[in-house]
Amino acid sequence: MTLPAPSARAFVPFVSVENMMRLIHQVGLEPMLIGLTDAIEDAFRRWPAFDKTPRVAAHSTEGVIELMPTSDGIHYAFKYVNGHPKNMKEGLQTVTAFGLLADVDTGYPILLSEMTMLTALRTAATSAMAARHLAPKDARVMAMIGNGAQSEFQCLAFKAVLGIDTIRAYDIDPAATRKMVGNLAGSGLTVIPCASPEEAVEGAQIVTTCTADKQYATILTDNMVGSAVHINAIGGDCPGKTELHRDILLRSRIFVEYPDQTRVEGEIQQLDPDHPVTELWQVVTGAAEGRQSQGEITLFDSVGFAVEDHAALMFVREKLHATDLYDRLDLLADPDDPRDLFGMLVRATPAR
């Protein structure tokens, strides 16, 4: 099937979880990660074209529910996403999401999609995109601290995009590490289970932290991080949630997506409000330097931003063309006469 044009919409294409998984397998997981990495990098090159605002968050003692909107003047996108660390103990996902893409000229939706799976892919792709600009060029070993739902995607993105071949894995729950080792069997990665975060970072040129507890937690202490390392801190995303000791931040050159959001939700919430950071889009466009020397510490303080979701939804929509991997969702009232919505209702009255 071919997706309908925005001006001739009688239905909204909807990508279910089942169809998203079918699409990923049709494209191939690593090609999908590479394609998303390139699509997100292209969006960062167009960063000034996007509307930008911190996400709208409703915090509770148990987690957060957020809306993440943006527009490039042609397409509008938003994502609904939650983060509830306690869910894991109840057999539920910590993070769930769905997203919508719309045509700015008409305001009509042109895609509705699950984004629990897609967010895992776009988060991994964003990490790999940042590391492509910031990590040591000869990096082959990554420490993966936090081996939950995001971990395999991160590992495979770094393999596909940067050539990482060895993962040193640690989680406070050994079962999570065993899960990750099993899932990555046959992937071409060597995965080494580690008994502590200190053991995991030994010999690693890249350190990815991805933990979920909603609290200030020192996953990496200052003495664990030496020179010539890139830190990919992706497990934050809310006030009161950090993973790195403050002294690591003070020794690092810090790169962020959108400072107004990261200063509230990221690792840099521990620092003074005027502590210098570099926006990643400036590195992508060449307006600012990425890694300046092999021996420095670079830190990508990633909290996720709506531009990445916009790019991911656009990428998925492109891949849907000439496939049947979507459902036709009857979401829009579409009367023959746009002024006669009531008449549409009357004509739909069931016969007595």
Find tokens 């060449």 and name the residue: 286
Residues 144 and 155 sit within 8 Å (Cβ to Cβ) = yes
Based on the residue annotation, tell me whether 173 is a catalytic residue of this protein.
no
Strand 206-209 versus strand 229-233 pairing type: parallel
> Parallel, antiparallel, or unpaired for β 75-83 and 97-103?
antiparallel
Phi, psi of 338 (to 5 degrees): -55, -20
| Nearest to 220, CA basis, from 199, 248, 240 | 248
**Are residues 233 and 225 in contact, defined by beta-carbon separation less than 8 angstroms?**
no
Q: Which of 171, 237, 301, 309 is catalytic?
A: 237
Pair 218, 195: CB distance under 8 Å: no
Q: How far apart are CA 82 and CA 56, in angstroms?
A: 11
By annotation, the residues acting in catalysis are 237
